[in-house]
Structure 1
Amino acid sequence: MKRIYQIKTLLLVMMVAVLATACKTEKVLPQKEALKDITGSWQVIKATRNGTDLTAIIDFSGFKINFTSTGYALVNKMPFLVEQDGTFALDDPEYPYKITFTAAGKTPVATAFTYPIVNGKRQLSLTFSPGCANNSYVYVLQKTN
């Protein structure tokens, strides 16, 4: 009987020791999100106006936006948020929700901005209303280089 009591006591001590070491709190540090880099040439792959698909009606193949570290340039201009080349800024380099375009000598214009990966490729989605507030455009762009 004494032997069984010793074995139970030993097992109890071992379980307490295992539980004490297993419950150690670990500090989990949040990983820093990579800065969003939109430099490069972007081409419209889908465009809608008020929910209607425009890509079958209008040829957007020549229209591009070239982003550099210092600004942007429009190639083969189409209806867009700005009409001239200039600079841009993201509201947050890690988690951007808004992009602001500032054409040379013009007032800055901001628009909704998403940066998803679709089918393994990075896309930009810009929502804007140039001129008439009743018309809402969504341009989905994909990097060409």
Structure 2
Amino acid sequence: MRKIYKAHKIYILPILAAIIMLASCKTERVLPVTESVKDISGSWQVIRATRNGTDLTNIIDFSKFRVNFKDGAYTLVDRLPFLVNKDGAYTLDDPQYPFKITFIATGAQPVATAFTFPIVNGKRQLSLTFSPGCPNNSYVYVLQKTN
């Protein structure tokens, strides 16, 4: 009789352990998190610029150049080679996940460019890639919000 009891004990323990493990698993309902709308309002200055991979930051004085964004409009201060040469309006392709920004200079056709909006060292940056005029020249401006 003891042998039968021991044999049942050996089978019962793994079955009980499996039942307890299955009962402890609960399905959590994960709600999707909505991404906030990206706000680029403010004054932005160039902190790094390249043309065809060559660093222009120490060659050209970008210290006075600014792009000011406010309420769907932009203004340029101390113009330099840029995607547009007049003030106007701008739009983002997606307000939550922007990958492209379109500049609409006053009296000109819309011009779109690649757009990234990363946080680097705790500060938000804008990165614009464009080719004004000659398609053989590719510029990358990395801008940071001024205080």
Fold match, TM over 0.5? yes
Structure 2 unaligned regions, length at least 5: none
Q: How does 1:62-81 map to 2 (within 5 A)?
A: 62-81=64-83
Q: CA deviation at 1:96?
A: 1.0
Q: Distance in 2 between matches of 1:119 and 1:92?
A: 25
Q: Given the two structures, how large is their TM-score scaled by the length of structure 2?
A: 0.88
Q: Which amino acid aligns with 2:79?
A: K
Query: 1:138: which partner in 2?
Result: 140
Structure 1 unaligned regions, length at least 5: none
Q: Which residue among 89, 98, 102 is the counterpart of 1:100? A: 102
Q: How does 1:1-12 map to 2 (within 5 A)?
A: 1=2, 11=13
1:123 aligns with 2:125: yes
Which ranges of 4 or more aligned residues in structure 1 deviate by more than 6 Å?
none
1:52 aligns with 2:42: no
Q: CA deviation at 1:35?
A: 1.5
Is the partner of 1:87 in helix, strand or coil?
strand
Residue by residue over 1:100-130, the C-alpha shift from the partner in whole angstroms, topping out at 9 and shown as x without a partner, is 0001121110000111111111110000000
Q: Distance in 1 between matches of 2:112 and 2:33?
A: 29
Q: Given the two structures, how large is their TM-score scaled by the length of structure 1?
A: 0.89
Q: Distance in 1 between matches of 2:92 and 2:23?
A: 46
How many residue pairs were aligned? 145
Q: Which residue among 104, 109, 112 is the counterpart of 1:110? A: 112
Provide the alpha-carbon RMSD of the alignment: 1.8
- Is the contact between residue 50 and residue 141 of structure 2 (CA under 8 Å) also seen in structure 1? yes
Q: CA deviation at 1:53?
A: 0.8
Identity score, percent:
63
Q: Distance in 1 between matches of 2:136 and 2:10?
A: 79
